Structures are given as C-alpha cells and as structure tokens.
Amino acid sequence: MNLRRILTLTLTLLVLASPAWARVVSFRAAAPLGDQSDPSIDRAIKGAVDRCVREATAMGLSWIWLQDAAVVGDKILIQMVASDDASDEADDLTIVDVTPNVPR
C-alpha cells in the first residue's frame, strides 16, 4: 500500500468513527523548500495549506484551522484540523487569507 492509500484509509476511518454530531479530522501536508528564504517558505506554506483545505472541503468540512507548522530540513510540514461544526474554540481562532496576491 502506498502512503496516499494509507492516509485516505486513516482519514476515512477517523470520519466514520467520529460522533454523528460533529466530524473532526486532522490533515497533514508537506511541501518542498527550494531554500530558506521568506518567499520560498511562503510558497511552501501556501501549497501545503491549499492541499489540506482542498481535502477538507472535499469532505464537506467547513471549519478549518492551522494546528502546527514547522520547517524540517528541506520541507515545510503543516498540520491542520477541520470540522463540520463550529467549535467553542472558534472564538480564539484567527482568520488567515491564504489566497495568493494577484495583481489587478
């Protein structure tokens, strides 16, 4: 089994095992860093966050937040949590726009 299938199976099991009143899923993504410059780190973070957000929205989860981020060697590692229900912790969350800046 490849890693993608294992992750998919794990996420599926997490969703099915969660209580019916709220689904909570943890997503992890890694993105390569070209170097340690700020623009390279920004691109890597946006790419990893985008992958997590796409997976969460595909599962119908509307509340998504960043749990952790770290630079490890030549990669950026991102962990995000998503839910289909607003949590009590939502008041403590900061909304971050991760869309790329597009010149108009």
pLDDT digits (tens, 9 = 90+) for 2-31: 767 776 777 676 666 655 566 788 999 999
Residue 81 lies in a domain: yes
Residue 99 lies in a domain: no
Distance CA 41, CA 16 (A): 35
Give me 21's structure tokens: 């009143």
> Which are the contacts of 68, defined by CB distance < 8 A and separation ≥ 6?
77, 78, 79
Q: What is the average pLDDT across 32-45? A: 89
Residue 91 lies in a domain: no
Residue-range definition of the domain harbouring residue 26: 3-85
pLDDT digits (tens, 9 = 90+) for 78-87: 999 988 876 6
What domain count does the chain have? 1
Residue 13 lies in a domain: yes
Position 62 scores a pLDDT of 84
CATH no. for residue 75? 3.30.1660.10
Residue 11 lies in a domain: yes
Residue 42 lies in a domain: yes
Residue 41 lies in a domain: yes
Distance CA 80, CA 65 (A): 6
Distance CA 75, CA 85 (A): 31
